[in-house]
Structure 1
Amino acid sequence: MARHGWGGRPPASDAEARQRIVDATARCIDRHGVAKTTLSDVAAELGVTRQTVYRHFDRIGDIVGEVAAQGAEAFVDRLIAHLQGTTDPAEAVVEGLVFCVRTIPTEPHLSLLLQVGDSGAFARGATTADAIAYGAAMLERFPVDWAAAGITGDDLGGLAEIIMRLLTSLLQRPGEPPDEARLRALLGRWLAPALAPSRAPAGRA
């Protein structure tokens, strides 16, 4: 790679270049917000041309998605640690949703995951296949025996979709977070009963 740009320290590989672009984008988002962060801003942050960035990412939305995905990995680890010892499916889902509603608005990079539009990590929101698959993979890490609860296969994906829809709705007004006690009561009344082992739907063939 040419030695101009990149602050005089060109990346040693394409993988390093991509990571430095992601890191630069995160800094731009922290300064300007996602709506005002452009590919030109990222290029300027790195001291390279727009064409250099385009060699690694097709559009700014793809970079923003990677920023969000990397932030989410650490967040999911924290969520799973928070849920340790909560083996009841209903309790785990309710507690997980409350934790997400409490935490995501305070961490801008995580909020990118659930944004709707071209700048969102899942582009078309919480009902895309990518978002649902991500949610199902997260549920599989819960300290819950889903099979024993009768939730397997497509049912786990359906649960993930409902959770992603609920979470997106609850986070649409980050300045007005729901009261946690009221949220727990609401989820406990209307969501938890569907996850009781005796009433959980059988897995589809």
Structure 2
Amino acid sequence: MGHHGWRGNPPGTEDEARRRIVDAATACLDRAGLAKTSLSDVATEAGVTRQTIYRYFPRLADILSAVAIAGVEEFAGRMERHLTSFGSPAEVAVESVVFGVRAVPDEPYLSLLLQAGEGDFFTGAVTSREWLALGARILRNVPVDWASAGVTTEEDFAGLAEILMRLFLSFLRYPSEPALTDDELRKLVRRWIGPALVSSAS
């Protein structure tokens, strides 16, 4: 079942096994950094074989994504608090993109995915089901009149989150030349995203 080893204390569930691998990876990254962390290092830290690691995480990129998700709750809370200062769905959408572009590079675990250098590391994480669900949850928790913009169902929130996260990802991975200021980025996103979130009654 992939529970061989584990320093004599095998996990009781698949979820616990994954959590312990993520904890081991986090310890390796904190100690040695991304450049000096391999799947073998994570396996040694967890007390299992590489084959056991592969059972739960086929690639190092998958572990990095899991580490980032495990550490993202504080970031999500800060984003939610920031977005509550804006009063309309359009402004919340715009500011979510600006906040993400500016804040993610300074986040200790989220930035790991950027440091990995391979574009698919970060892209794969941000467009995964788990990350899109997180984006939808952040939007849903911001107390604006989403219904006035036609955003009412879980599918609506998920779709809006995916569009905004893909937009944020594009600006983050491929910044404009010359670089946009916050106000310039805000103006650009508002011009093209804002009309989709304005009440048809206004």
Superposed, which structure 2 residues align to 1:3-152 within 5 Å? 6=7, 10=9, 13-14=12-13, 15-30=15-30, 31-33=32-34, 37-54=37-54, 56-111=56-111, 116-117=119-120, 119-120=121-122, 122=124, 126=127, 131-152=131-152
Q: 1:139 to 1:112 in 2, by over 3 A?
A: farther
Residue 138 of structure 2 aligns to a residue in which SS?
helix
CA contact (8 A) 1:5 1:47 kept: yes
Structure 1 residues 26 and 155: CA distance shift in structure 2, 3 A: same
More helix by share: 2
Deviation at 1:78?
1.4
Corresponding position of 2:194? 192
Q: Give the Cα separation in 2 of the matches to 1:61 and 1:12.
A: 23
Q: Could you say what secondary structure the match of 2:149 adopts?
A: coil
2:184 alignment partner in structure 1:
182
TM-superposed CA distance for 1:59, in Å, is: 3.9
Asked if the contact 1:64–1:120 (Cα under 8 Å) also holds between the matched residues in 2, the reply is no
Q: Flag structure 1 segments of 5+ consecutive residues without an equivalent.
A: 201-205
Q: Which shifted more, 58-67 or 69-78?
A: 58-67
Counterpart of 2:157 in structure 1 is 156
* Cα distance in 2 between the residues matched to 1:157 and 1:112: 25
Report the CA distance shift for 1:129/1:44 in structure 2 as closer, same or farther (over 3 A): closer
User: In the TM superposition, what is the alpha-carbon distance from 1:22 to its structure 2 partner?
Assistant: 0.6
User: Partners of 1:137 and 1:45 in 2: how far apart?
Assistant: 33
Match of 1:169 in 2: 170
Task: Structure 2 unaligned segments of length 5 or more: list them.
Answer: none
- Change in Cα spacing, 1:71 to 1:173, as seen in structure 2 (3 Å) is farther
Normalising by structure 2, what TM-score? 0.73
Would the alpha carbon gap of residues 63 and 179 (structure 1) be closer, same or farther in structure 2, given more than 3 Å must change?
A: same
Distance 2:45 2:108 in 1: 19
How does the TM-score come out when normalised to structure 1? 0.72
Q: Which of the pair has the greater relative contact order for Cα pairs under 8 Å at 6+ separation?
A: 2
Measured against aligned partners, the alpha-carbon deviations of 1:80-117 in whole angstroms (never above 9, x if no partner) come to 11222423111111222221111101114224678742
- Secondary structure of 1:122's match? helix
The number of residues matched between the two structures is 193
State the superposition RMSD in angstroms.
3.5
> Percent identity among equivalent residues?
47
Q: Residue type of the partner of 1:135?
A: G
Q: Distance in 2 between matches of 1:91 and 1:160?
A: 14
* Contact 2:98–2:168, Cα closer than 8 Å, also in 1: no
Q: Which amino acid aligns with 1:83?
A: L
Distance 1:60 1:182, change over 3 A: same
For residues 26 and 68 of structure 2, the distance between their equivalents in structure 1, rounded to whole angstroms, comes to: 9
Q: Judge conservation of contact 2:123–2:169 (CA < 8 Å) in 1.
A: no
1:122–1:130 Cα contact (<8 Å) kept: no
Shift of 1:23: 2.0
Q: Which residue identity is paired with 1:171? A: L
